[in-house]
Amino acid sequence: MEVAVIGAGYVGLVTAAGLARLGHTVRLAESDELRLAMLTKGESPIYEPGLQELLSEVIQSGALSLFSSNLDAVRGAAVVVIAVPTPQSASGAADTTIVEQVVSDIAPHLDLGAVIALKSTTPTDSFTRLQETLDHHSKGGHLVINPEFLREGAAVADFLKPDRIVLGVASDGAVERMTSLYADLGAPLVVTDPVSAGIIKYAANAFLATRISFANAIANVCEAVGANVRDVLLGMGFDRRIGFHFLDPGPGFGGSCLPKDTQALVALADEGGYDFALLRGVIDVNQQQMARVLSKVRRALNGSVAGRTVGVWGLAFKAGTDDVRESPAVWVAKELANEGAVVLAYDPRARVVDDGITQVGSALDAVRDADALVILTEWDEFQTVSLGELRTTMRGRVVVDARNLLDPEAVRRHGFTYLGVGR
Ligand code: UDX
- pLDDT given for residue 126 in this prediction: 86
Rounded CA separation 6/69 (Å): 9
**Quick one: pLDDT band at residue 88, thresholds 50, 70, 90?**
confident
- pLDDT given for residue 90 in this prediction: 83
- 285 and 143 housed in the same domain: no
**Residues with catalytic function:** 257
- pLDDT given for residue 125 in this prediction: 81
| Residue ending a domain, choose from 172, 192, 212 | 192
> Residue 193's closest CA among 214, 211, 175, 179?
175
Give a yes or no: residue 246 inside a domain: yes
Burial class (CB in 10 A: 0-12, 13-18, 19+), 229: buried
In this predicted structure, the answer to whether residue 286 has a pLDDT above a threshold of 80 is yes
In this predicted structure, the answer to whether residue 169 has a pLDDT above a threshold of 90 is yes
- What mean pLDDT is predicted for residues 280-287? 98
Residue 376 CB less than 6 A away from ligand 1 = no
- pLDDT given for residue 171 in this prediction: 82
User: pLDDT tens digits, residue range 194-207?
Assistant: 999 999 999 999 99
Contact 363, 376 (CB under 8 A): no
**Quick one: pLDDT band at residue 187, thresholds 50, 70, 90?**
very high
- pLDDT given for residue 341 in this prediction: 98
Residue 150 CB less than 6 A away from ligand 1 = yes
User: pLDDT tens digits, residue range 92-138?
Assistant: 778 889 999 999 999 999 999 999 999 977 777 888 899 999 999 99
3-class DSSP state of 254: coil
- 17 and 147 housed in the same domain: yes
Rounded CA separation 66/20 (Å): 12
Give a yes or no: residue 319 inside a domain: yes
- What mean pLDDT is predicted for residues 5-23? 97
- pLDDT given for residue 92 in this prediction: 76
In this predicted structure, the answer to whether residue 89 has a pLDDT above a threshold of 90 is no
| Residue ending a domain, choose from 192, 217, 245 | 192
Rounded CA separation 368/306 (Å): 17
Give a yes or no: residue 294 inside a domain: yes
Q: Distance, CA 242 to ligand 1 centroid (Å)?
A: 17
- pLDDT given for residue 401 in this prediction: 98
Contact 408, 366 (CB under 8 A): no
- 347 and 409 housed in the same domain: yes
User: pLDDT tens digits, residue range 226-260?
Assistant: 999 999 999 999 999 999 999 999 999 999 999 99
- 181 and 232 housed in the same domain: no
- pLDDT given for residue 124 in this prediction: 78
Give a yes or no: residue 214 inside a domain: no
Q: Indicate the angle between helix axes 328-338 and 277-300, nearest 10 degrees.
A: 50
Residue 379 CB less than 6 A away from ligand 1 = no
Contact 92, 55 (CB under 8 A): no
- 186 and 46 housed in the same domain: yes
Residue 247 CB less than 6 A away from ligand 1 = yes
In this predicted structure, the answer to whether residue 386 has a pLDDT above a threshold of 80 is yes
Percent of the chain with pLDDT over 90: 92
Residue nearest to atom 25 of ligand 1 (CA): 318
- pLDDT given for residue 140 in this prediction: 85
Give a yes or no: residue 123 inside a domain: yes
Contact 89, 265 (CB under 8 A): no
**Quick one: pLDDT band at residue 170, thresholds 50, 70, 90?**
confident
165 DSSP β-pair partners: 189
By most ligand atoms within 8 Å of CB, the mutation choice from 229, 253, 290, 323 for ligand 1 is: 253
Quote the domain boundaries for residue 308: 228-423
By most ligand atoms within 8 Å of CB, the mutation choice from 120, 233, 236, 258 for ligand 1 is: 258
